[in-house]
């Protein structure tokens, strides 16, 4: 009787994470590229934590040279993204400015409480991880943190091939700041007679891009890279110009008037434009009246209006050239404007607070 030899089972192929679309080696390479960018934002309050699961930041510290302790600190936190502006970064392959936008959207918000930005964290989700692209994005985040005077304390990069196309990505940012409780800015401190000082934006910042992209790139089909007479520059440059970060000049003013409350309200002009954001800075028994023509409007807004966006919609969607608004006591408005201008801002008295019902009028 002959015994047939047992058939050897074919060895099954063992699937790897890389074959599923996630490249761990690329992730390690990205971390190596990001490290120096993160470290340049770290001051003496950041504790060494290389390889740890979380970043460490001291709120108080006792070194004689750097002493800066708080009596009644309140932590302020914000989170935001950049929205569909990232699609322009992808289309133009310019990745170093949207990181600045990411920082600006959060630190400008927490500044509205009078808070000093302390640290920032980012989350980057990509379809396919390319270390050089991630490094360019994080270089913008680090630049934004340096402008805001805060530390880039950590972050996360996720490779998600089943959620995003190969070149696509999305961003989220998280900022934490601190303010002494007696120095907090709140809407109940604004009163009739206060002046409104506007700080110029440099364009769309990070809002209204769904409308701007549809109109200019899909409907009108304007070229991205050729200089446009109406703008004096290529459309790509105008659309990708990063959001201004107002932390240092505004904090400089707030610290100068530490003993007296001269700045009573602050508003970051983001989604919803002036009508949607200025009323958030004053109580319901007040109105704000803005003087039309009291500040210059960047050319990108005129381009949008000429190609079909109604004026009312322009003000409802875009910042229309004002990125930040301060409510200031009448006796100090001239001094505040001068101090802001010395800090490099273009500041204009754009309106005033009066008694009313919580509305904004642009006259």
User: What pLDDT, on a 0 to 100 scale, did the predictor assign at position 24?
Assistant: 72
Give pLDDT < 70 ranges for the chain: 1-11, 17, 19, 62-67
State the pTM of this model: 0.91
SS3 100: helix
DSSP 248: H
**Per-residue pLDDT tens for 20-50?**
777 777 777 777 777 887 788 888 888 887 7
- The superfamily CATH assigns to domain 187-362 is PurM-like C-terminal domain (3.90.650.10)
**Per-residue pLDDT tens for 46-91?**
888 777 788 888 887 766 655 677 889 999 999 999 999 999 999 9
Region of residue 95 (left: phi > 0; alpha: psi -120 to 50; beta: else)? alpha
To the nearest 10°, report the CA torsion of 301, 302, 308, 314.
Answer: 40
DSSP 188: G
**Burial category of 312 from C-beta neighbours within 10 Å (exposed 0-12, middle 13-18, buried 19 and up):** exposed
- The superfamily CATH assigns to domain 24-47+71-183 is PurM-like, N-terminal domain (3.30.1330.10)
User: What pLDDT, on a 0 to 100 scale, did the predictor assign at position 14?
Assistant: 77
User: What pLDDT, on a 0 to 100 scale, did the predictor assign at position 42?
Assistant: 84
Domain ranges of the chain: 24-47+71-183, 187-362
User: What pLDDT, on a 0 to 100 scale, did the predictor assign at position 3?
Assistant: 58
User: What pLDDT, on a 0 to 100 scale, did the predictor assign at position 57?
Assistant: 86
Do 262 and 329 contact (CB within 8 A), yes or no? yes
């Amino acid at each position: 009787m002959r015994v047939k030899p047992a058939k050897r089972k074919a060895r099954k192929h063992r699937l790897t994470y890389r074959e599923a679309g996630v490249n761990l080696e690329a992730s390690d390479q990205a971390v190596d590229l990001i490290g120096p960018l993160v470290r340049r934002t770290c001051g003496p309050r950041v504790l060494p934590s290389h390889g740890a699961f979380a970043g460490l930041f001291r709120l108080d510290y006792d070194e004689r040279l750097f002493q800066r302790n708080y009596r009644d600190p309140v932590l302020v936190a914000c989170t935001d993204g950049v929205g569909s502006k990232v699609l322009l970064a992808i289309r133009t392959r310019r990745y170093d400015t949207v990181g600045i936008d990411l920082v600006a959207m959060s630190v400008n918000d927490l500044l509205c409480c009078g808070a000093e930005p302390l640290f920032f964290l980012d989350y980057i989700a990509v379809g396919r991880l390319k270390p050089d692209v991630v490094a360019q994005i994080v270089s913008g985040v680090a630049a934004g943190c340096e402008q805001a005077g805060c530390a880039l304390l950590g972050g996360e990069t996720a490779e998600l091939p089943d959620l995003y196309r190969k070149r696509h990505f999305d961003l989220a940012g998280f900022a934490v700041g601190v303010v002494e409780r007696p120095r907090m800015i709140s809407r109940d401190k604004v009163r009739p007679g206060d002046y409104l000082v506007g700080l110029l934006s440099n364009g769309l910042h990070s809002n209204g891009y769904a409308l701007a992209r549809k109109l200019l790139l899909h409907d009108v089909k304007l070229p991205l890279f050729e200089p446009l007479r109406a703008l004096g520059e290529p459309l790509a440059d105008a659309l990708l110009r990063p959001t201004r970060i107002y932390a240092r000049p505004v904090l400089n003013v707030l610290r100068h008037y530490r003993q007296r409350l001269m700045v009573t309200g602050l508003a970051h002009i983001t989604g919803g434009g002036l009508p949607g954001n200025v009323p958030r800075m004053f109580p319901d028994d007040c109105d704000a009246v803005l003087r039309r023509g009291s500040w210059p409007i960047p050319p990108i807004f005129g381009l949008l209006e000429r190609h079909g966006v109604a004026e009312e919609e322009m003000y409802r969607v875009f910042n229309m050239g004002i990125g930040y608004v301060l409510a200031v006591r009448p006796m100090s408005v001239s001094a505040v404007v001068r101090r802001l201008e010395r800090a490099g801002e273009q500041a204009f008295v754009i309106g005033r607070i009066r008694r009313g019902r919580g509305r904004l009028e642009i006259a």
